[in-house]
Structure 1
Amino acid sequence: MNNKNILYQHGTLALLVPGLLEGTITMGELFSHGDTGIGTGQGLDGELIMLDGVPYQIDSTGTVNLVKDDFTLPFATTHSASFNEFSDFNNLDMSSFEQTIIEKSNSQNTFFSVITKGEFSKMKTRAVAKSNKPYPTLVQTAKEQSIFESDRVSGTLLTYYSPEVFHGVAVGGCHSHFLADDHSIGGHVLDFQLEHGKSEIQVFDTLEQHLPINNSEYMNHNFDNDSIGSAIDEAEK
């Protein structure tokens, strides 16, 4: 049985920066470490959100697809859901929501996840089309992203918080993916206005970081000149 206090992460955001986008774990393998999470496919093939043991991919056309066990990912975060009651939120934009959950959690120096189910008067997300070798950098890929917007939608917002000291391993601060109840919109969240939502929280005391040591490009890459922090800020926030 998986430990509810462990956050499992395969790969790092840093390896995406120079374009190390080869899939190095399968969805089937990832699900042995949790039933809830976020990630992206090989070549940044869409944005993934895993809810209740079901993996969904939002592709560059905005279509929501179910992901098979052999689908590969270069980067993903997962955990075994055991959320606790947290708070109801009303009339918050994305910045205010993130600031509020950080303050209310009293957990800014560890990892936690917040799942929010509610009504959104605005939702703006993105997804990226799959690229092939030679893979472009993260920033280059992000410039080709597809943007999706909805003025009123019900759905699930899954947010992971990482302490700023881990920026590069993950996104320092909050990183959210979304899926509408009717699958009309989803992906990596760029902005939203939460009209009303009920949030639950799960705090982790352990980060299990799994690295793709069988991937020679990752093992031999020199990250010294990759400007990791600024590239992640530009592409992810």
Structure 2
Amino acid sequence: MKKKLTALSVYLLTALLVFSTVAYAAAENNGRDQGKLFQYSTINAVMQGQYDGEMTLKELNTHGDMGLGTLNGLDGELIQLDNKFYQVNSKGQVKELKGNVKTPFAVTTKFDAEKTVTLSNVKDFQDFSEKLKTKFDNKNHFYAIKIHGKFDSIKNRSVPKQTRPYPSLTEVTPHQTVFEEKNVEGTIIGFYTPNYASTIQVPGFHMHFLSDDKKKGGHILDVKFDSAKVEIQQLSEFDLVLPDTADFANADLTKTTVEDIEEAERGK
């Protein structure tokens, strides 16, 4: 009987040790993922017309549940919300995407808001940016932002799919399609990037929109609302994966300026 109890004890202790190790590893990994920004490729690469990537949306989804970007061939605007992906094409049509679709540039995070604030009397995108930045605790960290509400007006854009040889992004955006919606309910998601990282990500705010009915959306150019609750997550880690493509390997990524990015992203 004593030997049986000893063997059983060893078995239980071994099982407990294995379970504890797995649980600890899972908790540690989950902790590392929280507060981390994951990005595939760089904004400078996109600016220079690198519109084909190797990362699938399925793989991107392992790194976060809320994000944005574009699709291979610069085929419209990409929105990731609640682990699902949506494309807004140049006609303004919204389509849910499968995991085998690939992206040349995307940003995501496992969103877990640390702070909720109220923004009131937002007149335009610049006013939105200035008011939201006052809510940040550390101006040199990255931030993820999520807003759900009813917007008095919101102006979005999408771009047409490109074919090789690819033009630069500043050559594409003059042909963008702009959609302006009034009194629309939906979700704004996006990221804030400090200026020191402007060669890697869009400096300032990069925001996309998706309506509740999944029929409207795009890259935000302007927005106006009376009052909205804004969820904020500070991101203190940055995980960057670079494309393993000939285009990226041979590119001179020092040519793009902040002014070029602002012109392409915000229509300036």
> Same-fold call, TM > 0.5?
yes
CA distance in 2, matches of 1:121, 1:129: 27
Identify the residue that residue 15 of structure 1 maps to in structure 2.
45
The share of aligned pairs that are identical, in percent, is 34
Q: Distance in 1 between matches of 2:101 and 2:66?
A: 16
- For 2:119 and 2:257, locate their aligned partners in 1 and report how far apart those are by CA, in whole Å: 33
* Aligned: 1:148 with 2:188: no
What are the equivalent positions in structure 2 for 1:22-33 lying under 5 Å apart?
A: 22-33=52-63
Q: Write out per-residue CA displacement over residues 64-111 of structure 1, whole angstroms, 9 at most, x where no aligned residue.
A: 100111111110000111113321222213212211111111221010
Runs of 4+ displaced beyond 3 Å = none
Whole-angstrom CA distance in 2 between matches of 1:170 and 1:90: 28
Larger radius of gyration between Structure 1 and Structure 2: 2
Alignment of 1:216 with 2:246, yes or no, is: yes
Residues 60 and 30 (structure 1 numbering): CA distance in 2 closer, same or farther, change over 3 Å? Answer: same
Q: Which residue of 2 aligns with 1:122?
A: 153
* Maintained 8 Å contact 1:113/1:160: yes
Return the alpha-carbon distance in structure 1 between the equivalents of residues 222 and 138 of structure 2: 23
The letter of the residue matching 1:156 is T
Question: How far did residue 35 of structure 1 move?
Answer: 0.9
Partner secondary structure for residue 165 of structure 2: coil
Which residue identity is paired with 1:17? M
CA distance in 1, matches of 2:257, 2:247: 17
8 A contact 1:17–1:228 mirrored in 2: no
CA distance in 2: counterparts of 1:190 and 1:72, whole angstroms: 25
> Within 1, Cα distance between the matches of 2:141 and 2:155?
27
Q: Does 1:135 align with 2:169?
A: no
* Unaligned stretches of 5+ residues in structure 1: none
- Structure with a larger share of its residues in helix: 2
Q: Secondary structure at the match of 2:163?
A: coil
Mapped contact 1:149–1:185 kept (Cα < 8 A): no
Cα distance in 2 between the residues matched to 1:162 and 1:122: 25
Q: TM-score, normalised by structure 1?
A: 0.95
Are residues 1:60 and 2:90 paired? yes
Question: After alignment, is 70-79 or 194-203 more displaced?
Answer: 194-203
Task: State how far apart, in whole Å, the 2-side matches of 1:196 and 1:45 are.
Answer: 33
- Offset from partner CA, 1:26-72 (integer Å, 9 cap, x none): 10111111111001001211101111101111111101100111111
2:215 aligned with 1:184:
yes
Q: CA–CA distance in 2 between the matches of 1:229 and 1:90?
A: 29
Q: Name the structure 2 match of 1:73.
A: 103
Cα root mean square deviation, aligned: 1.2
Paired residues of 1:168 and 1:232 also in contact (CA < 8 A): no
**Structure 2 unmatched runs, 5+:** 1-28
The alpha-carbon deviation at position 197 of structure 1 amounts to 1.4
CA distance in 2, matches of 1:180, 1:128: 18
TM-score, structure 2 normalization: 0.84
Amino acid of the structure 1 residue aligned with 2:83: G
Residue 130 of structure 1: how far off its partner (Å) = 0.8
Counterpart of 1:85 in structure 2 is 115
Q: Distance in 2 between matches of 1:84 and 1:97?
A: 20
Q: Deviations over 1:130-184 (max 9, x none)?
A: 1111111111111111100012111111120000011121111111001111233
Counterparts of 2:34 and 2:68, CA distance in 1: 17
Q: Which has the higher strand share?
A: 1
Aligned residues: 235
